[in-house]
Amino acid sequence: MAHTLTLKAGTAWSDAWRRCLAAAPEAFRDDRVLNLWNAAWQADGNPLPATSPIDGSPIAGPPRLDAATARQAVRAALDQHRTWRHVPLAERRARVTAALDALTEHRDLLALLLVWEIGKPWRLACADVDRAIDGVRWYVDGIEPMLADRAPLDGPVSNIASWNYPMSVLVHAMLVQALAGNAVVAKTPTDGGLACLTLACALAAREGLPVTLVSGSGGELSQALVRAPEIGCVSFVGGRDTGAAVATAVADLGKRHILEQEGLNTWGVWDYSDWDALAAVVPKLFDYGKQRCTAYPRFVVQRDLFDAFLAAYLPAVRRVRTGHPLAVAHPDDPFPELDYGPLINAAKAKELRDQVAEAIDRGAVPLFRGELSDGPFLPGQDTSAYVPPVTLLNPPPSSPLHHAEPFGPVDTIVLVDTEAELLAAMNASNGALVATLSTDDPATYDRLAPQIRAFKTGHNRPRSRGDRDELFGGFGASWRGAFVGGDLLVRAVTRGPAGERLPGNFPDYHLMP
């Protein structure tokens, strides 16, 4: 008889909240979190209600500032910046190292907050925290040559990032920016990550790092966080619509910028036969429900290979597991092994379900639709934010699933007959961050890969954002401004010699590293 599942011991939201109050009492109150600006925790802003995507239960909501207070916060960050930029590198390294040690001490709590706030399974939540810590330690160890003949910017770096990687993207960037001599400002993502980011910033601020963390609507705060003259650089991670508005603002102002935007990352299959290798990687491509900028939601498959592709793909996609990230048979059992949990919220899940239904109604062929009943859930829990894996053949051109990234567990497959069609289908979104071409012949890969409009293209294997010295950027509309990764991240947030042209995708030039 199957056991009725229960919450793993010590992992309730109330447990996590109590631990936050104990770990950083300066940043948390019984009923809310605070904003951090002017080197102090401020009980300002209007806290909005929020719910966990895991089960719809209440969690801490963002204390949203108005535009005038945000302007004050940015002015105060400039004052911090003017002091911090003169702090010797040895002291900056020591303080960042102390912050990393504190993050390491609270690693499990940071991960548990990510589980509740953005629905990451435990394995992926831990990986997000670990990548942030390990990645910044790499910069701490090797920062001297990266800063040779370079200086901090004239003003703080403003960070506006999506909710999906609060630690390994946002906190990682903030700590490297501070290590390079800049004060840093960050906006809490609207959809999740508030408590995790608040705890991380509390630990950093205790070590004297010049960190500002504020909440608010993008529209209300953009004047302060993007257009304010005090801001030395804007670092943005998010969708193309919002990114385009930010890009227009920074271009008008001639402001340093790093804008990572979405693109339809594609996986091409041409003259290929190693189906066991492809089958092994398919479940991994569903990590975090494909809610990441380097997910692969589109397969472009040679028609003649479609039967062999399906024979490998369908058994693999059936192994993908979703469910409640903390649901176990016994309270002391290990965390469940899942590929993903809920989507970021019930509204996104409904939007995706509606897009799938509309695509099928207009002619897409459903090849696979998973069932939520296969996963671990608590009795009677709200599952409105969960979407099982879906695979569609030939989404119609009128469907958003044809031309845009779904940011959810939906694969689409397009069949092609010629190499020209393969390339056209792989380049459907005017630029992407990553792509992969599976082909047996290295010469075929060498000939076709340069024609794929992605910053990184893998041969028979997926590409990722990368860590440490691996560079990252995008082609076309998927990226605007300076490229990052390795020493490029430091170069993007520091001033070099007069007339320097940074590697990146700018309005007036495109320069590869």
CA distance 59 to 116: 8
pLDDT tens, position by position, 328-356: 999 999 999 999 999 999 999 999 999 99
Cα 233 versus chain centre, distance: 19
The pairing of beta strand 157-161 with beta strand 327-328? unpaired
- Mean pLDDT (the chain) is 95
CA distance 180 to 88: 10
The pairing of beta strand 233-238 with beta strand 256-261? parallel
Position 3 confidence tier, pLDDT thresholds 50, 70, 90:
confident
- Let me know how long the chain is: 513
Whether 186 contacts 174, CB under 8 Å: yes
Cα 114 versus chain centre, distance: 12
> Residue 243 has what pLDDT?
67
pLDDT tens, position by position, 129-170: 999 999 999 999 999 999 999 999 999 999 999 999 999 999
Nearest to 457 by CA among 338, 296, 297: 296
Whether 166 contacts 58, CB under 8 Å: no
245 against 479, higher pLDDT: 479
Quick check: 1 pLDDT over 50? Answer: no
The pairing of beta strand 184-187 with beta strand 211-214? parallel
The mean per-residue pLDDT over the stretch 419-439 comes to: 95
What is the share, in percent, of the chain residues with pLDDT greater than 70?
A: 99
Nearest to 460 by CA among 226, 304, 296, 339: 296
pLDDT tens, position by position, 236-290: 998 777 766 777 777 777 889 999 988 899 999 999 999 999 999 999 999 999 9
> DSSP label at 47?
E
Q: Per residue, what are the HEC states of 162-200?
A: CCCCHHHHHHHHHHHHHHCCCCEEEECCCCCCHHHHHHH
**HSE-up of residue 313 (Cα within 13 Å, Cβ side):** 23
**HSE-up of residue 13 (Cα within 13 Å, Cβ side):** 18
What is the share, in percent, of the chain residues with pLDDT greater than 90?
A: 89
Q: Is 350 helix (H, G, I), strand (E, B) or coil?
A: helix
> Residue 241 has what pLDDT?
73
Q: State the CB neighbour count (10 A cutoff) for residue 266.
A: 27
